Amino acid sequence: MTAIPLLPVESEAQGTRTFRHILSVIARDPLSLASTIIILVFLLVAIIGPLIAPYPDQGAGVTNVSNKMMPPSADTLMGTDRLGRDMFSRVIMGARLAAGVPLGIVFLAILIGAPLGAIAGYKGGWVDEAIMRITDLFLAFPPLLLAMAITAALGRGIQNATIALVVSWWPWYARLVRGVTISLRERYFVEAAQAVGVRDSVIILSHILPNTISPILVQATVDLG
């Protein structure tokens, strides 16, 4: 009887290994470590802003014209503006908006684009064609120009601007994940999962998408910058 050769085992934890490698590189480079600490502090301030702001109500827009244009002091570290609002509180409260809106836009764009790209790359055929033609329709316009047009149609406001930017940005993640998925679907661990009858949805969620995290993080970092 001829022995059946075993397929080489390919690790599915490539994304985890890459993440650990990134952490080790950051830890060895003082500049990268300092930059990471600054970003983490900024995100922490954005999260707990209302708890540490001296005057959170003024940071949210409440005015106090009797204290307008006050110089820096123990009570107002950065002074006040022309409407009497504490500048330090406004900077702290503004961090939440400055961090939350871009993170929300990128997160929603990934949430829409990554699954569609994975489905298109894994399925191929008419499914790939249909999803990619829709993607190309959005990519035919410069993203910021498309976002401005959508905002003009929806009206002003943070919510409408967020919707417009998400609609403009998800196709880039769909294209990115599709390209990665096309190479991943030929890997041994995907073929092994197909051979034992694992459903396509499980393969995409458990084997494909986790291995697209690294390129997604790179693209997300560029977009946030």
Q: What is the pTM of this model?
A: 0.76
Does residue 70 sit within a domain?
yes
pLDDT at position 112 is 96
User: For residue 52, what are its two tokens?
Assistant: 């540490």
Does residue 10 sit within a domain?
no
At residue 95 the predicted structure's pLDDT band, cuts being 50, 70 and 90, is confident
pLDDT at position 16 is 63
Task: Give tens-digit pLDDT for 27-69.
Answer: 888 887 888 888 888 889 888 888 888 888 877 778 888 888 8
Domain count, the chain: 1
User: For residue 10, what are its two tokens?
Assistant: 């390919």
Asked if residues 119 and 131 have their Cβ atoms less than 8 Å apart, the reply is: yes
Q: Cα(44)–Cα(53) distance, rounded to whole angstroms?
A: 13
Does residue 3 sit within a domain?
no
User: For residue 160, what are its two tokens?
Assistant: 């409408």
What percentage of the chain carries pLDDT values higher than 70? 91
User: For residue 123, what are its two tokens?
Assistant: 């399925």
Does residue 186 sit within a domain?
yes
DSSP state of 77: T
- Most confident region among 21-25, 72-76, 173-177, 206-210 by mean pLDDT: 173-177
Does residue 220 sit within a domain?
yes
CATH number at residue 151: 1.10.3720
Does residue 6 sit within a domain?
no
Evaluate if residue 121 carries a pLDDT over 60: yes
pLDDT at position 11 is 45
pLDDT at position 79 is 86
Does residue 103 sit within a domain?
yes
Q: Per-residue pLDDT averaged across 125-148, rounded?
A: 92
Other beta carbons within 10 angstroms of residue 35's beta carbon come to 12
Q: Cα(164)–Cα(158) distance, rounded to whole angstroms?
A: 10
Q: Cα(196)–Cα(142) distance, rounded to whole angstroms?
A: 44
User: For residue 84, what are its two tokens?
Assistant: 């009497």
At residue 129 the predicted structure's pLDDT band, cuts being 50, 70 and 90, is very high
Gyration radius from the chain CA atoms: 24
- Between the two ends of the chain, the Cα-to-Cα distance in Å is 60
Task: Give tens-digit pLDDT for 143-194.
Answer: 889 999 999 998 888 899 999 999 999 999 999 999 999 999 888 888 888 8
Q: Cα(15)–Cα(38) distance, rounded to whole angstroms?
A: 25
Asked if residues 135 and 174 have their Cβ atoms less than 8 Å apart, the reply is: yes
User: Domain span at residue 100?
Assistant: 16-224
Does residue 7 sit within a domain?
no
User: For residue 151, what are its two tokens?
Assistant: 């905002």
**Higher per-residue pLDDT: 24 or 168:** 168
